[in-house]
């Protein structure tokens, strides 16, 4: 090695311009870190969903409406078990009510009640659910709408639980 090259150059042979390039090893480390973070995040979301679905549910009774407020064939929006869970109550006969979560079991779009066809329609991907039991009739949804347990007492309709 010529004398004009300082000793420190031997210890640090990378040129300043080359120092700005990302090495293959750095890039691989970065990709591994990002992939691991995504994998972990997805796992945590899946775990949270699983826990919310299978934990022992504790529902408090909620008065939805007076029986006289809902005519036969009419639907009423309410929120149960929390204020961010929209549900639909439908009076199917004089003494019979049904209620379901309004969240489509495909990708959670709100379903709409179709009185004439006695079904629920999800406009996002043309999903359909039966009014009688919430089972999927057509489209991508494979699971029924979660059913709200109801009780009629003292002239009012109460939500008392939920069947997921």
Residue numbers of the site for ligand FES (CB under 6 A)?
104, 106-107, 109, 122, 124-125, 127, 139-141
Residue 131, token pair as written in the block:
């009014």
Pure H helices in the chain: 7-11, 24-54
Nearer to ligand FES, 97 or 119 (CB): 119
Q: How far is the CB of 82 from ligand FES (least distance, A)?
A: 20
Are 118 and 125 spatial neighbours (Cβ–Cβ below 8 Å)?
Answer: no
Query: Residue 81 or residue 140: which is nearer to ligand FES going by CB?
Result: 140
The CB-of-111 to ligand FES minimum distance in angstroms stands at 7
Q: Which is nearer to ligand FES, 20 or 142 (CB)?
A: 142
The beta strand positions in 67-146, using DSSP E, are 75-79, 86-93, 96-101, 112-114, 119-122, 127-130, 136-138
CA distance 59 to 134: 20
Check if the beta carbon of residue 159 is closer than 8 Å to that of residue 148. Answer: yes
Q: Quick one: 91 or 127, whose CB is closer to ligand FES?
A: 127
Smallest distance from ligand FES to CB 36, Å: 31
């Amino acid at each position: 090695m010529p004398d004009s090259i300082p000793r420190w150059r031997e210890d640090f042979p990378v040129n300043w311009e080359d120092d700005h390039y990302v090495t293959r090893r750095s890039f691989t480390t970065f990709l591994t870190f990002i992939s691991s973070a995504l994998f972990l995040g997805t796992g945590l979301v899946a775990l949270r969903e699983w826990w919310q679905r299978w934990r022992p549910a504790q529902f408090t009774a909620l008065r939805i409406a007076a029986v006289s407020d809902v005519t036969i064939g009419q639907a009423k929006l309410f929120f149960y078990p929390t204020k961010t869970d929209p549900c639909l109550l439908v009076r199917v006969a004089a003494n019979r009510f049904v209620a379901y979560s309004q969240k489509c079991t495909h990708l959670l779009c709100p379903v709409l009640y179709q009185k004439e066809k006695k079904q629920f329609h999800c406009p996002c991907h043309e999903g359909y659910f039966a009014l009688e039991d919430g089972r999927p009739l057509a489209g991508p949804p494979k699971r029924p709408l979660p059913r709200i347990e109801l009780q009629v007492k003292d002239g009012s309709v109460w939500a008392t639980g939920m069947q997921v």
